[in-house]
Chain A
Amino acid sequence: MTATEPTTDGPTSDDPIFNLLEGFVTELRTAGLPVSLSENIDAAEAVKHIPLEDRTAFKYALAATLVKNDAHWKTFETLFEVYFSLRGSEYAIDPDADDPFGELDLDEDEMAEQASGDNGQGQGGGDGLSPEELAELLYQALMRGDETLMRAIARQAVKRYAGMEPGRPVGGTYYLYRTLRNLDLDGVLERLMDQAKADDENMTPFDERLERNEYEARIEKLRKEIEAEIRRRLVADRGAEAMAKTLRKPLPEDVDFMHASREEMAMLRRAIYPLTRKLAVRLARKRRHKRKGPLDFRNTVRHSLSYGGVPAEPKFKHPKPAKPEIFVVADISGSVAAFARFTLHLVYAISSQFSRVRSFVFIDGLDEVTDFFEGVDDITEAIHRVNTEADVVWVDGHSDYGHALEVFWDNYGKEIGPKTTVLILGDARNNYHASQAWITKEIQKRARKLFWLNPEPNAYWNTGDSIVGEYGAHCDGVFEVRNLRQLERFVDNLV
């Protein structure tokens, strides 16, 4: 790109930006975002039309041209912050490198000024603030929702409490934790609420709740501000490429069920609803559009009348798609519980595509939980009930696939018919109990299809106490389903 750039004065000054842009796009691609060449060109074109000093404008220009999926927005935003972060000596971590008359000190002055202007508590210029004063300022800022002040405090807090040292190989979360611990935001929230209650004597509980929401939103903003500040400093210390690497997170559809953090879990729960809706629409459509059932003789004759009795326009019956019956048998022991939850969620969300869905959960005992889902609007609620009420422990609450399958076969085996598809969910880690693999063989004989979904990576199968191979020998398919993408694909093919 640089080689083709004309060497007149104007464009060459843009060069760093285009180089940076190229690095940025490469990083987006590494993170899994599909950025095509033409989109890359569009982005370069778009930034020509906006003032470069306007950072927000620059950001949405890139977003509009490079990111075409809302789920990827977060990844984009993080990378953008890293790549196009504000850099300068004032963000350096090393305190010696700090210009004594630099921006930070000015900030302190400003803050002191603000405080003294409003409350008469300021200590004047360069002395700096004591921790108590900083806490007081924080309280004031949150109270008034003063964003400039909040930003200044975020900087101060990071500088003071995070204890950042150049080159220290620690992640941003550690610094964030240290900063937040010192600020005691929960305490501040309580103080704000007490103040609000004192201000307004006849505040109803309902108002109080709204007031609390408002403060929580402001505190969240401050948290983001602190995070951004830490990130900026880390970028200044380590460089954009290194930071991008440590911040690289999988896209929501690629998050591994078994190793998802709490935030990722929340993200997955949010992602699953639109996913099920999309899947349901797609499946319903697929059904309707597969035409050409067998010839509809009566209809054809009827239409032939308009052609003088010649059956020129053959009519076909609408195909009656065979709606399979689904039995879901899910392991809900700790290690794979999340996986079972998402699969149940997905299966029930598209239950209209099946003639019947029955679900069973087990650890070492087995229990039918179909009733929990019947007539229930809210699948999340039902799954919660499954986790708390189902009777799945037989001896010690460690997975025992052999026993669970035996119970399943004894109690429900007769109900498996030629229209039934059985899905078994689990990692087949049997804690060295007897496998009872003959049951899968029997099930396969009776059922239309028997599938095994395993949330473990393929490479771990049949290592340690995993005996998925033993069961899998009698299954019509064993699939690795570790993330939403794979789950969606499987369910799509199932129908």
Chain B
Amino acid sequence: MTHRFESVDAVRDGLRSVDYLADESIAGIVYLADRLGKPVLIEGPAGTGKTQLAKSVAEMSGARLIRLQCYEGLDEAKALYEWNYKKQLLRIQVEKGDDTSWTDIQDDIFSDEFLLPRPLLEAITADDPVVLLIDEVDRVELETEALLLEILSEYQVSIPELGTVESKQIPLVFLTSNNTRELSEALKRRCLFLHLDYPEMEREKEIVLTKVPDISDNLAEQVARIVRSVRQLELKKHPSVSETLDWARTLVLLGIDKIDEQDAVNTVNILLKYRSDIEKAIKDFSSNSAQFEGQPAAT
């Protein structure tokens, strides 16, 4: 079996070339996933680049991205395959005049031709290199999860009428989860686990620098620092990386080069989305500085 990536560094550099800044563990786990032929389960708060990682890996390796968006009520027909019954009906109609035996027709209408592949089947039968992304897997019910197990461990799909469809290649598989519920042990066991958390300040700064054009190094540093201190508060929802980027873009558009307290208070609604969180952050911005104002006199 040939491997896609030479080394961990190759993965990291490749991801960097498509503007995804991977840290040591991200690159390492993608590399391991390729070597071991195992799916990667990515878990973490919203907006930390879980989906983006799969997209970037696809982009860097020149593979096609096949995406299965999970939702409540997802079933076999949407995820795996479906029989094209209209075409099957037509086939039966056409044969009506002839004296073809029923068994022949039956064999015929349950063949590849009448099968509509859905994302999972498509991913393993593809000839070109693919990356399969199973997005927000925590949204499907516990029972539906079982649909995924066969394809994740054996890379095959069993169709009762046809037999087992084996994969032509082992695709790179990414599953993302927002952790709204505990995934089953069976699913977790089959995957490599990657927890994506909010990045360290230095990395966040770099991300801002890469993703926001025309931002000065100084401003990016400030943005990253403020976001870090906001994340230390006890909030309902912490600012995500994408919100940091939105905020940085806003500041650049407003022509702000150095953020002062007033700017921060005015634009914090881009960073935070709950009223109580915004109030808390504003209070924090000003209360601490009041405390410091008094301080020089004391020392």
Chain A residues at the B interface, C-beta cutoff of 8 Å: 34, 36, 38-39, 42, 45-46, 49-50, 56-57, 60-61, 63-65, 67-70, 73, 190, 194, 197, 204-210, 212-214, 217, 269, 274, 277-278, 281-282, 285, 289, 377-378, 380
Nearest residue, chain A, Cβ from B287: A209
Total A-B pairs, Cβ < 8 A? 115
Say yes or no: A210 contacts B226, CB within 8 Å: yes
B189 touches A39 (CB 8 A): yes
Known: A46-B36, A205-B293, A210-B225. 6 other contacts (CB 8 A): A39-B189, A42-B36, A56-B28, A64-B28, A64-B32, A68-B191
Contact assessment for A38 and B29 in the assembled complex, using a CB-CB cutoff below 8 Å? no
Is B28 within 8 A of A204, CB to CB? no
Would you call B275 and A213 a contact (CB within 8 A)?
Answer: no
Interface residues of B in 24-78 (CB under 8 A from A): 24-25, 28-29, 31-32, 35-36, 38, 40-41, 43-44, 72
Cβ contact within 8 Å between B28 and A50: yes
Interface hits, B159-204 → A, CB 8 Å: 179-182, 185, 188-189, 191-195, 201
**Contact of B192 with A64 in the complex, beta carbons under 8 Å:** yes
Taking a contact as CB atoms under 8 Å apart, the answer to whether B38 and A42 are in contact is: yes
- Whether A206 contacts B289 by the Cβ 8 Å rule is yes
- Chain B proximity of A383: nearest CB distance (Å): 12
Q: How far is the CA of A182 from the CA of B52 in the complex (A)?
A: 47
Contact check, A206 vs B261: say whether CB atoms are below 8 A apart.
yes
- Which residues of B, 279-299, contact A by the 8 Å Cβ criterion? 280, 285, 288-290, 292-293, 296, 299
Q: List 17 A-B contacts (CB under 8 A).
A: A42-B192, A50-B32, A63-B193, A64-B32, A64-B40, A64-B192, A67-B193, A68-B189, A205-B292, A206-B259, A217-B201, A269-B234, A277-B180, A377-B274, A377-B276, A378-B236, A380-B234
CB–CB B201/A68 < 8 A: no
CB of A64 within 8 A of CB of B264, answer no
- Contacts known (A73-B195, A285-B72); A204 close to B225, Cβ less than 8 A: no
Residues in A whose Cβ lies below 8 Å from that of B179: 70, 274, 278
Q: How far does the alpha carbon of A269 sit from the alpha carbon of B180 in the complex, in Å?
A: 18
B222 beta carbon closer than 8 Å to chain A: yes
Q: A68-B41, A205-B261, A278-B180 are in contact. Are A60 and B229 (CB under 8 A)?
A: no
Contact call A209/B288, Cβ cutoff below 8 A: yes
A333 CB to closest chain B CB (Å) equals 25
Q: Select which of B8, B40, B228 is within 8 A of A50 by beta carbon.
A: B8
User: Contacts A49-B35, A70-B195, A204-B260; is A281 near B181 (CB within 8 Å)?
Assistant: yes
Asked if B246 is an interface residue, CB under 8 A from chain A, the answer is no
Q: A213 vs B289: C-alpha distance in the bound complex, in angstroms?
A: 12
- For A285, the chain B residues whose CB sits under 8 A away are 72, 141
For residue B38, which residues in chain A have a CB less than 8 angstroms away from its CB?
A: 42
Contact of A60 with B185 at beta-carbon distance under 8 Å, contacts A190-B299, A377-B274 already known: no
Question: Known contacts A56-B24, A208-B289, A209-B288: does B189 contact A36 (CB below 8 Å)?
Answer: yes
Q: Which residues of A contact B201 (CB under 8 A)?
A: 217
- Whether the pair A206, B260 counts as a contact (CB closer than 8 A) is yes
Q: How far is the CA of A63 from the CA of B41 in the complex (A)?
A: 12
Given contacts A208-B292, A210-B225, A274-B179, contact A60 B36 (CB under 8 A): no
Q: Are B25 and A63 in contact (CB under 8 A)?
A: yes
Contacts of B264 in A (CB 8 A): 206
In the complex, what's the smallest C-beta–C-beta distance from B234 to chain A, in angstroms?
A: 6
User: In the complex the two chains form, is A49's CB within 8 Å of B189's CB?
Assistant: no
Compute how far the CA of A50 lies from the CA of B192 in the bound complex, rounded to whole angstroms.
15
**Is the pair B296, A197 in contact by a Cβ cutoff of 8 Å?**
yes
- Residues 131-171 of chain B, each 1 if its beta carbon lies under 8 Å from chain A, else 0: 00000000001000000000000000000000000000000
Contact A209 B222 (CB under 8 A): no
Q: In the assembled complex, how far is the CB of residue B187 from the closest CB belonging to chain A, in whole angstroms?
A: 9
Chain A residue with the shortest CB-CB distance to B265: A206
Tell me the complex Cα distance, A88–B93, Å: 81
CA distance A214 to B29 in the complex (A): 30
Interface contact B189-A38, CB-CB below 8 Å:
yes
Min CB distance A273 to B, Å, is 8
In the complex the two chains form, is A64's CB within 8 Å of B180's CB? no
| Residues of A with C-beta under 8 A to B259 | 206
**Residues of chain A contacted by B41 (CB below 8 angstroms):** 68
What is the CA–CA distance of A63 and B43 in the complex, to the nearest angstrom?
Answer: 13
Q: With both chains docked as a complex, state the minimum distance between the C-beta of A192 and any C-beta of chain B, in angstroms.
A: 13
Given A57-B24, A73-B195, A194-B299, residue A213 in contact with residue B228 (CB < 8 A): yes
A379 to B82, CA, bound (A): 48
| Docked complex Cα distance between A64 and B222 (Å) | 33
Q: Which B residues lie within 8 Å of A38 (CB)?
A: 189
Cα(A269)–Cα(B235), bound, Å: 12
In the bound complex, residues from chain B placing their C-beta under 8 Å from that of A269 are 234
Min CB–CB distance B288 → chain A (angstroms): 5
| CB–CB B289/A64 < 8 A | no
Give the complex CA separation of A49 and B285 in angstroms: 48
